[in-house]
Structure 1
Amino acid sequence: MQNIKAPLLTIFFIFLGFFVYTKLAGPIPFSVNSIQTTKTNLFSVSGAGKATGIPDTAQISVGVTKTASTVNTAKDSVNSSANKIIDDLKKLGIPDKDIETTNYSINPNYDYALGKQTINGYTVTQTLEINIAPIDVANKAVDTATADGANLVGGINFTFNDKTKKDLENKARTEAVKMAKEKAGSLAKATGIRLGRIVDVQESGNFEPRPIMMAQGLELKSEDTQLQPGENSITIDITLSYETR
């Protein structure tokens, strides 16, 4: 009997201790971690907008290449022509910042007669890249450069200045968003989907200047140059993601 009473008394005093503690100190604190998960269904749709304008800026590459028996002779000839080209381009109102030297090279020319490699001259080339606005000045720039000795005329790109490009991008973007929303409404109606708020927007754009290839290292005609910029387009693609209800 004594053996049974001892454990019972121990349990009794343990519960009595908890009872007294909770009365004096308050309830024993405890916490439970909870994780709440949400599931959101998304509905994505894309739209494209396009804005077209007449380019207002031309990018032109012109250069001078000369071959002579010595490096100095070829270099002096190129430098003389290139310096005159630069000076006369500035007289057309083209600022220094829009005239950039993109290449200056000196290369030996070899003769392989009798199976032996020997240097028989040197070719020196200098190339300038010119940004020109307005475009009608580009015609004069090409004529001026070739008259001053340019015998390399590379591709001509027609593009937009920063303000014009931004305005066209905004116009194309507005059209793309409108098209995407109209498409979303039409698809939702056809499929019975209830659209919620827009939770994500993705954008990509495309603009490539239209190049015109011109003569390189050829005898250019003396008639006045007439460059026609035509039209360029900027395309914006927009993807809208909606919550669905």
Structure 2
Amino acid sequence: MHSHARITGLVLILLITSMMSVSATETKDDGIPLIHVTGSGTIKATPDRVQIELTVVTKNPDVKAAQKENARKMETVMSALRDPSKGNLTGREIGTTSYYISEVYYPDDTLKAKYGDNITIYQVSNTISIETEKIDRVGDLIDLAVAAGANSVSSLQFTLSQQKTAELRKEALAIAVKKAQADAETVMAAMGKSLGDVHEVTVDESYQPPVYYNQDSRSVQMAAGAPSTPIEPGSVEVTARVTTGYRIL
């Protein structure tokens, strides 16, 4: 099965968001009047890392038979993904995340026709997670896993690697600082006063790594022989905020 994953090139879009909070206050220690300004800088970027969760689901009135079938299918999936000539994933890029057994309380018509109406059917679900920076191969990896026996894409998340996130956050912080300074200068000019030196700077530490969820690809039941899987990663944002206190001259 062949797939062409449509992946856009890395494009950085600088978005300077003015989230301005201005107040003139006097410090308690030296009585120097200050102006506090909050600046925000945001950088939008194409993700360079992806996490895919794939699940193998098997159902059978005999729980051991369901487990055995599931283990066989999952081994085929894992082998295909690790095969250098196919998935070419390393041990660090793939691993099991969950495994559970449950009863099927509302069997569909196919299960009823196969096993009858008045029989307990068990479902075995085994989920693996792929975490890789091979963004351009997302569609191929999904198709490969489905062809090997995976029948559900449980989750598809695009994000940035730690290194890329750190680089972009530095840029966002620089933008936030410049924005805060520009806003402070504008306010002081309008008041007929001058902006002094920086008295204090506070960086917003409530930072969360950016994650983009491909909603069209989550919880989608897959089947071998389906059309190839084009994947568009969209974009993620890295935002930084600083609050700067300037002396008023």
TM over 0.5: yes
Q: Could you tell me how far apart the structure 2 residues matched to 1:162 and 1:186 are?
A: 36
CA distances 1:81-119 after superposition (whole Å, capped 9, x unpaired) = 1122112212222221222322100113458xxxxxx86
Which protein is bigger by CA-based radius of gyration? Answer: 1
Q: 1:46 to 1:210 in 2, by over 3 A?
A: same
Equivalent AA in structure 2 for residue 58 of structure 1: V
TM superposition shift of 1:240: 1.0
Identify the match of residue 233 of structure 2 among 229, 236, 239.
229
| Separation in structure 2 between the aligned mates of residue 79 and residue 138 of structure 1, nearest angstrom | 24
Equivalent-residue separation in structure 1 for 2:225 and 2:242 (angstroms): 47
**Correspondence for 2:45:** 53
Cα distance change of structure 1 residues 122 and 60 upon mapping to structure 2, 3 Å threshold: same
Aligned residue-pair number: 204
Shift of 1:218: 4.6
Partner amino acid, structure 1, of 2:74: A
CA distance in 2, matches of 1:94, 1:127: 16
Runs of 5+ consecutive residues of structure 1 not aligned to the other structure: 1-36, 112-117
Structure 2 alignment gaps of length 5 or more? 1-28, 107-117
- How big is the alpha-carbon RMSD for the aligned residues of Structure 1 and Structure 2? 2.4
Whether contact under 8 Å (2:212, 2:236) holds in the other structure is yes
1:93-112 counterparts in 2 under 5 A?
93-109=88-104
Opposite residue 219 of structure 1, the aligned amino acid is A
Measure, in 1, the Cα distance between the counterparts of 2:79 and 2:235.
31
Give the drift of 1:130.
0.9
Conservation of the 8 A alpha-carbon contact between 2:147 and 2:224 = no
State the partner residue of 2:245.
241
AA partner of residue 72 (structure 1) = K
Report the AA paired with residue 212 of structure 2.
R
Q: Name the structure 2 match of 1:210.
A: 212
The answer on 1:71 being equivalent to 2:63 is yes
2:228 partner SS: coil
Q: Which residue identity is paired with 2:245?
A: S
Q: Distance in 1 between matches of 2:188 and 2:104?
A: 70
Tell me if the contact between 2:185 and 2:194 (Cα under 8 Å) persists in the aligned partners: no
Q: Deviations over 1:9-33 (max 9, x none)?
A: xxxxxxxxxxxxxxxxxxxxxxxxx
Which structure is higher in helix share? Answer: 1
User: 2-side partners of 1:211 and 1:180: how far apart?
Assistant: 31
Deviation at 1:152, TM superposition (A): 1.1
In the alignment, is the contact (CA less than 8 A) between 1:57 and 1:134 conserved in 2?
Answer: yes
Moved over 6 A (4+): none
Q: Take 1:137 and 1:186, find their aligned partners in 2: how far apart are those partners? A: 49
TM-score (norm 2): 0.73
The equivalent residue for 2:23 is none
1:85 is aligned, of 64, 77, 80, to: 77
Aligned to 1:196: 196
SS of residue in 1 equivalent to 2:168: helix
Partner of 2:177: 177
The DSSP-based 3-state class of the residue aligned with 2:181 is helix
Task: Return the letter of the residue paired with 2:48.
Answer: D
Amino acid at match of 2:237: S
Which sits farther off after the overlay, 217-226 or 46-55?
A: 217-226
Does the Cα contact within 8 Å between 1:67 and 1:124 map onto a contact in 2? Answer: yes
Identity %: 25
8 A contact 2:165–2:209 mirrored in 1? no
